[in-house]
């Protein structure tokens, strides 16, 4: 009875809260209150995932150190990915997803719908993947988890499409802000990467969510941050030239990373699940065994670099005897930077769950350090290796993620100030411009762009991307056979409210008959048994395929005078899409995303 009473009280409190939101607050106030709760949930999820990963990694590394068996690192990543795959197969019985790409897909194609299991599945699978040494990051899964929380909370309170999308952005901003203790970067993440519109109705909830997520994280784990870095020296004017060169270097490395990632993804996609696990796990295990710095998300290694210490590159490695050799340092730095792309791709290819935030920052810190050491070694100049490592992180993130603003403000916030803002801007922008010359989309958006499902800040294109051709297909057209006589066809016409009749033989589309084309025959009774439908029909152009985007459909309407276009799939008739319904649906989507 006690348990029942407590349960009833919780339910009553919940319904009273929902009733209060619905009756006492305006829609705008309701969204802002929910943004705070979404931020609290996202911040909690971030803390939980970080602690889960650290616990798994601590146990495994303690066992390896205790037994002094370094070769365990060869098997750890495969075991972790295997356990993650078991969880996906037998517990949630579907893929957990990789975070940001899944969020972008849900916004563009599913009206912000994210399955309930995504509120926890990425926490489990990514903690197993990364904790056991998978060379990926946790930020993507945290963003995906937060977005799922935002989506489901919004739908529980019956928010509309635009508000659901905003709640997803709030949760994502909160997740990023709580991870890095960077509220402004969290806000920019949703605006730049999730493509949310910059309006007052969206800015305030995003800020509230970011702040509440950071407060939650602070209350649970204190003021600990990922990169406890403080700028010790700034820069001389001549250094700006080297930051330009660093930006170009980061851009080239970003193009390299993206190409490796995309090509390995396609390669692994050709194989079955077991083969992917064996090959991906073996490649990853070998890389981690040879270069232990590639183990896990790599934040500890980045902090070593920012402290000016790169001895970790040789710790527990077969290259340890060469730790004091500058040539060996340069060679190992270059190898670790280059092989990180393969380690990350192998982790994903094998079936692991994670993100590319951490790999981007890892690569950026290493190539920034490498660049500064090379310049210093050449005797041309004396550069700050820690500053260049820090700025390199922004350059790589800007290039790999196609997010220069996010990179600039994230690194500025985590470095404790804006004294390096100009170098940050120079390196990030030059990296981004170089990458854009070679590729118009990031690894996040490439696949969506190829399928023409990518949301952008262009409202017209965004609206068309969010529209689905399936929802616009009309099927209340009476079908006729090509051998039907004119007399029998006229009887069919009397039962139809439409003026178009698809001609179908054995489920194969043959053409259409337009009623205006036969008006002159209606009173000619002598032709009723002579003329057949096949004599009256014509093959319409253009036709629409179910796989086409709404952008294609609208273009076909604009290029013709037709009011209805047939939808045909491999010669099989599906239905019609009409000009009126298409543009009505377009106006509805636009109005849903207009500012309150």
CATH number reported for the structural domain that contains residue 205 in this entry: 1.10.3080.10
Residues in the chain, pLDDT under 50: 1-2
Q: Which two tokens stand for residue 258?
A: 């993206």
- CA atoms lying within 13 Å on the CB side of residue 177: 32
181 and 282 co-located in one domain = no
CA distance 426 to 430: 6
CA distance 451 to 444: 13
152 and 265 co-located in one domain = no
Residues 6+ apart with CB under 8 A from 342: 260, 264, 283, 287
CA distance 357 to 98: 12
324 and 451 co-located in one domain = yes
Q: Which two tokens stand for residue 411?
A: 């690194």
CB 146 within 8 A of CB 41: yes
487 and 378 co-located in one domain = no
190 and 68 co-located in one domain = yes
The answer as to whether 8 is a domain residue is: no
Residues 6+ apart with CB under 8 A from 191: 198, 206, 405
Residues forming a β-bridge with 509: 504
pLDDT, residue 1, reads 45
386 and 480 co-located in one domain = no
Residues 6+ apart with CB under 8 A from 385: 308, 369, 372, 373, 376
Q: Which long-range contacts (CB under 8 A, 24 or more apart) does 485-490 make?
A: 485/528, 485/529, 485/530, 485/531, 485/532, 485/533, 486/518, 486/521, 486/527, 486/528, 486/529, 486/530, 486/531, 486/532, 486/533, 486/536, 487/525, 487/528, 487/529, 489/513, 489/533, 489/536, 490/522, 490/528
The answer as to whether 228 is a domain residue is: no
**Number of Cβ atoms within 10 Å of the Cβ of 84:** 28
The answer as to whether 5 is a domain residue is: no
The answer as to whether 361 is a domain residue is: yes
CA distance 291 to 284: 10
445 and 503 co-located in one domain = no
Question: What is the domain extent for residue 473?
Answer: 462-592
Residues 6+ apart with CB under 8 A from 122: 49, 96, 97, 99, 141, 142, 144, 145, 148, 353
What tens digit of pLDDT does each residue of 38-92 get?
A: 999 988 988 888 888 888 877 877 766 655 556 777 888 899 999 999 999 888 8
pLDDT, residue 524, reads 83
| Boundary residue ending a domain (221, 252, 287) | 221
34 and 50 co-located in one domain = yes
Rg (CA), the chain: 29
Strand duo 500-505 + 508-514: pairing? antiparallel
Where do we find the tokens 């899409």? 577
What tens digit of pLDDT does each residue of 270-281 get?
A: 898 899 999 999
Q: Which long-range contacts (CB under 8 A, 24 or more apart) does 233-238 make?
A: 233/384, 233/387, 234/419, 234/420, 235/384, 235/387, 235/420, 235/422, 235/423, 238/381
The answer as to whether 97 is a domain residue is: yes
The answer as to whether 350 is a domain residue is: yes
Closest CA to 178 of 405, 414, 391, 444: 414
| Boundary residue ending a domain (221, 249, 272) | 221
| Boundary residue ending a domain (188, 221, 254) | 221
Q: How many domains does the chain have?
A: 3
CA distance 419 to 235: 9
The answer as to whether 430 is a domain residue is: yes
370 and 385 co-located in one domain = yes
148 and 37 co-located in one domain = yes
Helix (H, G, I), strand (E, B) or coil at 587: helix
Closest CA to 246 of 33, 395, 404: 395
Cα-to-chain-centroid distance, residue 27: 28
| Residue 562, domain CATH | 3.10.580.10
397 and 533 co-located in one domain = no
Residues 6+ apart with CB under 8 A from 365: 301, 302, 305, 306, 389, 390, 392, 393
Percent of the chain past pLDDT 70, that is, above it, reads 87
Q: Using CB atoms within 10 A of its CB, is residue 376 exposed (0-12), middle (13-18) or buried (19+)?
A: middle
471 and 545 co-located in one domain = yes
The answer as to whether 234 is a domain residue is: no
Residues 6+ apart with CB under 8 A from 555: none
User: Mind spelling out the 3-state secondary structure of 373-394?
Assistant: HHHHHHCCCCCCHHHHHHHHHH
CB 19 within 8 A of CB 25: no
Residues 6+ apart with CB under 8 A from 518: 486, 536
* Percentages (nearest 5) of helix, strand, coil residues in the chain: 65, 5, 25
The sign of the dihedral angle between the CA atoms of 362, 368, 374, 379 is: negative
CB 517 within 8 A of CB 537: no
């Amino acid at each position: 009875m006690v348990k029942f009473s407590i349960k009833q009280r919780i339910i009553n409190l919940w319904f009273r809260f929902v009733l209060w939101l619905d009756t006492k607050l305006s829609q705008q106030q309701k969204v802002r209150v929910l943004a705070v709760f979404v931020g609290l949930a996202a911040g909690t999820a971030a803390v939980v995932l970080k602690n889960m990963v650290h616990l798994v990694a601590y146990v495994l590394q303690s066992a390896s150190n205790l037994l002094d068996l370094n070769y365990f690192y060869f098997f750890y990543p495969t075991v972790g990915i295997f356990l993650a795959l078991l969880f996906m197969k037998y517990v949630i019985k579907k893929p957990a997803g990789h975070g940001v790409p899944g969020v972008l897909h849900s916004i563009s194609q599913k009206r912000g719908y994210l399955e309930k299991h995504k509120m926890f599945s990425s926490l489990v699978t990514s903690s197993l993947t990364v904790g056991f040494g998978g060379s990926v990051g946790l930020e993507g899964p945290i963003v995906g988890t937060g977005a799922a929380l935002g989506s489901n909370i919004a739908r529980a309170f019956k928010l509309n499409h635009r508000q659901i999308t905003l709640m997803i952005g709030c949760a994502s901003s909160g997740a990023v802000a709580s991870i890095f203790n960077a509220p402004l970067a969290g806000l920019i993440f949703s605006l730049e990467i999730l493509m949310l519109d910059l309006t007052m109705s969206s800015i305030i909830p995003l800020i509230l969510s970011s702040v509440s997520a950071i407060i939650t994280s602070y209350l649970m784990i204190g003021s600990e941050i990922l990169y406890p870095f403080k700028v010790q020296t700034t820069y001389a004017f001549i250094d700006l030239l080297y930051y330009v060169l660093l930006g170009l270097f980061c851009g080239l490395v970003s193009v390299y990373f993206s190409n490796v990632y995309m090509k390995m993804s396609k390669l692994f996609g050709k194989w079955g699940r077991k083969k992917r696990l064996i090959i991906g796990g073996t490649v990853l295990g070998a890389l981690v065994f040879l270069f232990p710095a590639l183990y896990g998300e790599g934040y500890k290694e980045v902090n070593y670099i920012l402290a000016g210490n790169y001895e970790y590159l040789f710790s527990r490695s077969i290259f340890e005897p060469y730790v004091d050799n500058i040539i060996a340092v340069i060679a190992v730095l270059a190898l670790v930077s280059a092989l990180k792309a393969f380690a990350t791709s192998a982790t994903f290819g094998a079936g692991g769950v994670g993100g590319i935030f951490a790999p981007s920052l890892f690569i950026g810190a290493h190539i920034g350090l490498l660049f500064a050491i090379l310049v210093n070694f050449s005797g041309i100049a004396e550069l700050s290796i820690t500053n260049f490592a820090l700025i390199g992180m922004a350059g790589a993130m800007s290039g790999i993620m196609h997010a220069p603003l996010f990179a600039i403000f994230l690194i500025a916030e985590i470095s404790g100030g804006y004294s390096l803002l100009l170098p940050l801007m120079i390196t990030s922008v030059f990296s981004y411009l170089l990458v854009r010359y070679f590729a118009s989309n990031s690894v996040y958006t490439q696949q969506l762009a190829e399928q023409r499902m990518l949301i952008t800040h262009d409202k017209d294109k965004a609206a068309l991307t969010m529209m689905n051709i399936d929802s616009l297909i009309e099927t209340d057209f009476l079908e006729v056979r090509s051998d039907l006589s004119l007399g029998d066809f006229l009887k069919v016409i009397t039962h139809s409210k439409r003026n178009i009749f698809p001609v179908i033989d054995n489920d194969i589309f043959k053409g259409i008959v337009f009623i205006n084309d036969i008006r002159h025959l209606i009173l000619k009774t002598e032709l009723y048994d002579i003329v057949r439908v096949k004599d009256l029909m014509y093959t319409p152009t253009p036709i629409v395929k179910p796989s086409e985007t709404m952008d294609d459909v609208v273009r076909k309407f604009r290029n013709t005078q037709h009011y209805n276009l047939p939808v045909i799939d491999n010669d099989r008739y599906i239905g019609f899409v009409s000009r009126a319904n298409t543009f009505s649906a377009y106006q509805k989507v636009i109005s849903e995303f207009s500012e309150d």
